[in-house]
Structure 1
Amino acid sequence: MPHLALYTFGVLKSPLADPAPLTREFYEIGETVYRKIGQHPGYLARAEAAGGDPGLLFEADWGAWGEFAVPTWYDKGRTVETTALAATLSLWTDLRPALEAVYTGLHREALNRRYDWFERTEHPNYVCWWVSDGVIPTWQEGVSRLEHLHDDGSAPHAFTFHQSFAPER
């Protein structure tokens, strides 16, 4: 049975290493949100770097999730001191549980505050696609599909919750 892959990407207003209160707040809320989402029905897994240092996105070992990648429009830093992004890659049993996890509860509360932390852009901030059972999506695949969504709109290859497609059987 196919599973839903979900890639999210946002450009932060300040680097991850910034000690400012808003950056610390984003991290604190983010850790709680990740714990809650990890307990949500339908959640299967998410990309986590070996070692777990949030500032080492580009250098981290992501295992089966592949080498960390970002969309071509990301033009900020790539070092621990200058990286200013937040990205997730997760796997779900189906569209409905992922939608519910994103748009309810604590994650919804965080979404309501996203412009406190993230820059407003013309680019989509997430993309969904179907993967075969047993397949782990990669960061590069998420980036490719997000860029496809931006360039060509929602399609079976790359879609949103609001313009979704059923998996091919």
Structure 2
Amino acid sequence: MSAYHLAQINIARAKAEMDDPVMAGFVARLDDVNKLADDSPGFVWRLQTEEGDATALRPYEDNRILVNMSVWETPEALRAFVYRGAHTDVMRQRKAWFERMPEMYYALWWIPVGHIPTLQEAKDRLEHLRTHGESAQVFTFAKLFPAPDAQDAKPVEGFADPCPAL
């Protein structure tokens, strides 16, 4: 068993404020999707406020950018949640609620088991990915780098399933 877990950040720019009718479908699904994540095999942690989600957090200057962060035991567990479960229904509707991001909007990185990443740490990783590309420090499902304690140090190309939002 690895001494590392996989952390992820993803951001999205909402088409409107959270209380706008255009966002009603997304808001209506939040509790269900969060519970789905919480109950998923391999789930460790997710960013949330006392309300149970992270939609009130605004870590970017743009007030319509929402952030999601979570930690998973393995890349396979995160991939199963993102691409193979009920979460895909929500992803298929993404274009109704969120604008297309002009640059990379998600990042993955390894953290020691027990570490909870900060929002600033996650933002820094995403910015590093945007500036320098994929590496063992930060990567995407397209080029999954192994945990630092893995026997095989080669990245896995094409780890992601096809995105259901496309």
TM-score in same-fold range (> 0.5): yes
1:99 to 75, 79, 88: 79
Deviation of the 1:55 alpha carbon: 5.6
Matched with 1:62 is none
The 8 Å contact of residues 30 and 53 in structure 2, kept in 1 or not, is answered as no
Matched with 1:10 is 12
Gaps of 5+ in 1: 59-68, 78-83
Counterpart code for 1:99: R
Matched with 1:23 is 23
Matched with 1:76 is 62
- Against the structure 1 CA distance between its residues 17 and 54, is the aligned structure 2 distance closer, same or farther, given a 3 Å change threshold? farther
Deviation of the 1:76 alpha carbon: 2.7
Q: How many angstroms apart in 2 are the aligned matches of 1:35 and 1:107?
A: 11
Report the RMSD for the aligned CA atoms in angstroms: 1.7
Q: How many angstroms apart in 2 are the aligned matches of 1:52 and 1:35?
A: 10
Question: Where do residues 54-69 of structure 1 align in structure 2 (5 Å cutoff)?
Answer: 56-58=56-58, 69=59
Deviation of the 1:113 alpha carbon: 1.5
TM-score normalised by L of structure 2: 0.81
Gaps of 5+ in 2: 150-166
Q: Does 1:35 align with 2:35?
A: yes
Matched with 1:64 is none
* Corresponding residue SS for 1:49: coil
Counterpart code for 2:16: S
Matched with 1:111 is 91
| Equivalent residue pairs, number | 147
* Corresponding residue SS for 2:86: helix
2:69 to 85, 89, 101: 89
The 8 Å contact of residues 17 and 55 in structure 1, kept in 2 or not, is answered as no
Matched with 2:114 is 134
TM-score normalised by L of structure 1: 0.80
Deviation of the 1:110 alpha carbon: 1.2
Identity of matched residues, %: 29
Q: Does 1:160 align with 2:146?
A: no
* Corresponding residue SS for 1:27: helix
Q: Runs of 4+ in structure 1 displaced over 3 angstroms?
A: 51-56
Q: How many angstroms apart in 2 are the aligned matches of 1:35 and 1:141?
A: 25
* Corresponding residue SS for 1:88: strand
Matched with 1:66 is none
